[in-house]
Structure 1
């Protein structure tokens, strides 16, 4: 199945043979310290910036009615965000991942996002459309 938007991801996760927990890390964009005039202009034009996790949650895909419902729920519980990174953890041999395993997976996602390592994650914009990110070194 091709994933063209967040709702496709939900449908895909719901169809998996083993139950899934979706891991969601909501991201805000910030200006880097000592940003150049060019970086500031790009940021204000909606391009560039540093990714900063602002909240995270794990959910059963059946708990999320749609991307629009997730967006509305996130507005009730947290600060504004620009992107949501998604991943998942699966049940194994009929055993659900523990809370500790799920929390560790979420924290690992956050560390990877901060490091610019996006492998194994699907980011979506506020419209539920997939985003292709390019990691750019500032050194």
Structure 2
């Protein structure tokens, strides 16, 4: 498998950038811009690292057939963001539910959301690798022979 340096650099930048961005926005990486209201847990960090890694790998794979799975990748990223984000700090969730309902009903479900998201992203990356990507499929002209 031949990967260009540019493609590797882009995927590494996407993975690292999403780790820093999501970590700062959710308060998993301590910063002066945001104070997290719910204690940080190990599954929060695990889902943050896995999401960033999956986004980097997703960027690395480019389908050879031209199809994109951007909808599935976006859905998985959003679900995992809900899994490691602070539930009482999410304005959308607070608009839909009260903070006590979020802590009582939503907070215990966050590890399950993370597991579902990781499974979805894992399946997506597996399916993409089975279909082949531009860097995995050797392009041959019709007259070339295989050695």
Q: Normalising by structure 2, report the TM-score.
A: 0.29
Q: Normalising by structure 1, report the TM-score.
A: 0.30
User: Whose strand fraction is larger, Structure 1's or Structure 2's?
Assistant: 1
